[in-house]
Chains A and B, each alone.
Chain A
Amino acid sequence: MGDACSCGGCVGSKIGCDNVLDKFPEQKADLEKYMDSLPIGKEKEANRGLLIQCLHKAQGIYGYLPESVQLFVANKLGLHLSEVYGVISFYSYFTDIPVGENKINVCLGTACFVKGADKVMAEFERVLGVKDGQTTENGKFTLGGLRCVGACSLAPVVMVNDRVYGNVTPAMVGDIIADCK
């Protein structure tokens, strides 16, 4: 898991180091308290049923799921790390890579697609110099695609953190990025 400050996992994230458990005891206590409130028993199969909600909680706390957190959750539930990692890598909501300060998500649902979301995505990729799913080197932006936020009347839609931009054209991309600073 590397030394506390040389693991290189801290790019761009507020809580970025992989050794997040020791570095942020309050957050760890928060996660531990949540997990202790669950009916964790001896039966492995039943404990597994609690895994996904624990991962949701952990990602809510740390922003991503570094190996140390995965191991912590696995140990608490009596599961193997491989089982936990298998679940994380399967579901698109979970990530084990730190995300940037601003999450830019271009809706790639069908309605947005027919209204030109692919062009908007291409423009974000060009301006930020990263591909879909990547984070800029300065850790400011993570670019991603998502499937339908249900605001199809505003298509194409871009979500920046919790804010929704509607009827986005490639020409608006620069302004949207500027808005984040």
Chain B
Amino acid sequence: MIENAKQLAEKADGIRKEHAGRSKIGILVSMGTCGIAAGTTPILNAIRDEIKKQGRDGEVEVIETGCMGLCHSEPTVEVFDRESGASVIYGQVTEQQAAAIVESGSKPAAGATALSRGWYYPEDEENKDNALQARIVLRNTGRINPQSLEEYLVQDGYAALAKAVTTMKPQDVIDTIIASGLRGRGGGGFPTGKKWAFAAAQKNDTKYVICNADEGDPGAFMDRAVLEGDPHAVLEAMAIAGYAIGATKGIIYIRAEYPLAIERLNIAIDQARKEGLLGKNIFGAGFDFDLELKYGAGAFVCGEETALIHSIEGMRGEPTFKPPFPAISGLWKKPTIVNNVETYANVCAIIRKGADWFKKIGTAGSPGTKVFALAGKVNKVGLVEVPMGTTLRDIIFGVGEGIKDGRAFKAVQTGGPSGGCLKATELDTAIDYESLKALGSMMGSGGMIVMDEDDCMVNIARFFLEFTLDESCGKCTPCRIGNKRLYEMLQDICEGRGTMETLEKLDTLSRTIKDTALCGLGQTSPNPVLSTMAQFKDEYLQHIQEKKCAAGVCHKLITYTINESCVGCTLCARNCPVDAISGERKGRHVIDQDKCIKCGVCFEACKFHAIDKS
């Protein structure tokens, strides 16, 4: 049991000493969901076997860690030297490389692919080598074993909670968070400290601290990475929030689809309770706090805080009108704050290092960093944490190393189903909450999908509308019916039935939905339509006037024909799933346009560039 702040410091020092004497070389193996999917488990075993085989049990230690963010190169392994601090990260590791990796220690192993790190830790070091990425939220993910409280304590774990409850008044904590300028990382960007202040001002014996871990944006997975890689950071921050607003109970509302995160959170909660870091009289300061997990069941709208609260209460996750805001009347009608995982993951660093330190990173209006899940047609897909104010170009062409297969950049989608698309001319925008909003998109939870010339923007808008339709709770008419009509109109345009009138109606209806929908989901659902219409009007016009899809995506608008390069190899005919291609062997083939389902299999199968797509 850790009974006071002094004992915490002593314990952390003790563990540091013990670690220093334990092994010289540490090997971190990335064991997040994506790492495991990419096959890290056999590699972990191979490295363990190899250490035994080489007789280096005492000298080399294997540490299972969370996601390093280098998804493009999974499975990833990092080898570091405790004495010199030197380290090397390997990507696309195979079982065969295990021997060389164990043998080489912190020097690059022959035959394995070493990667550059690309980030620095603002809390521990100065900006090294002008790294583009700065890790505050992802400070521990990929660096410690998330299932070990000891390793968290070594990284100053629970020091922020100790500082808050033993040296600060609740109001001081709130003032610090307000001064830091921290804003909600889940989407809207509401100032976190203000939210806390509202709840703190309520006189009530029971208040709640909720963590929104129902990451719903299809294409964002930073919250999962934090929960899997650094669960204690979230628990600690929630306890700090509890102290600040006067709550003794916390609830983490987590997606049932994140089994590994749930498992690691449960382990972390047990560990914290055993050490008295959760429970009664934390750090002897007379502050009680405990928390439990509640599972979501697959509803995007539950990212909206009133809907989330209804879901915890066991009801359908339908939003209600605000005010009253949850900070006044939330869970079981008690004052409640709801923040998302990434927001909480910033709190401990702010308390430890102070508001002024935090404000030095990022922009004036949006201090700190933001984690983006960079995906799509970019070379280096992964989790990226950059200071606010970094340009899209630096993220996509710097960290992401440009577009796949040398294709041309077309657009980047931010903000998920509530966001919009930005085009090449906006690549030099320094991104923060305001700049993205001004461009018709939004920060959202941090999905960042890069698209190239092969993507059709009308089709992308239709994709997001389909998502919204699926996820609309159906409570208010603008969202339930309006989005359905939007979707149908986009479908018409994609299938060649669109007219100029459709385009006009699309615009009017989008604006009406924005103005009249009940909750955040509905109010932002037309954003993908409005933003693509504003940025890529020519594509809409092409679909409508020329009945053409330049990207070659919209099936109904494509025609496949066979040109004179055909040598009659019959490969296309054999691959065609509907037998639409006929022709003699060694003679030019023909596609029956009435039978063709435009699947494109022939186009991909042909080795002679004999199939034209138009």
**Residues on A facing B (Cβ under 8 Å):** 45, 47-53, 55-56, 86-87, 90-94, 108-111, 113-115, 119, 122-123, 126, 146-155, 157, 164, 166, 170-171
Contacts and interface: CB of A to CB of B under 8 A. Distances in A.
A174 B540 CA distance: 36
Given A110-B218, A110-B449, A111-B449, A150 B413 contact: no
Contacts of A50: 314
Contacts of B377: 114-115
B219 A56 contact: no
B413 A110 contact: yes
B373 interface: yes
Given A55-B297, A114-B455, A154 B37 contact: yes
B382 interface: yes
B131 interface: no
10 contacts: A51-B314, A55-B297, A92-B297, A92-B470, A93-B296, A93-B297, A119-B600, A123-B599, A146-B257, A150-B221
Given A52-B311, A56-B297, A114-B377, A154 B38 contact: yes
A152 B384 CA distance: 13
Question: Which 6 A-B pairs give the minimum distances between C-beta atoms?
Answer: A150-B221, A91-B297, A109-B218, A48-B314, A153-B71, A111-B375
B256 A93 contact: yes
A147 B218 contact: yes
Contacts of A93: 256-257, 296-298
B8 to A, nearest CB: 33
Contacts of B295: 52-53, 56
B146 to A, nearest CB: 16
Nearest to B220: A148
Contacts of B218: 108-110, 147-148
A151 B313 contact: no
B463 interface: yes
Contact of B224 (A90, A146, A150): A150
Contact of B382 (A49, A53, A108, A153): A153
A114 B298 contact: no
A152 B71 contact: yes
B451 interface: yes
Nearest to A155: B375
Contacts of A122: 599
Given A52-B295, A153-B382, A170 B601 contact: yes
A146 B470 CA distance: 11
Contact of B33 (A91, A119, A150): A150
Given A45-B313, A48-B315, A154-B38, A91 B298 contact: yes
Given A150-B221, A154-B34, 15 more contacts: A45-B332, A52-B295, A91-B298, A93-B296, A93-B297, A109-B219, A110-B218, A110-B375, A115-B377, A148-B219, A148-B220, A150-B225, A153-B382, A166-B37, A171-B601
B316 A48 contact: no
B37 A164 contact: yes
B503 interface: no
B313 A119 contact: no
Nearest to A94: B297
Contacts of A166: 37-38
Contact of B38 (A94, A110, A151, A171): A151
Nearest to B463: A113
Contacts of A151: 33-34, 37-38, 71
Nearest to B313: A49
Contact of A170 (B257, B294, B382, B599): B599
Interface in B205-224: 216-221, 224
Interface string B304-317: 00000001111111
Nearest to A56: B295
B299 A114 contact: no
B196 to A, nearest CB: 24
B34 A153 contact: yes
Contacts of B118: none
A119 B598 CA distance: 11
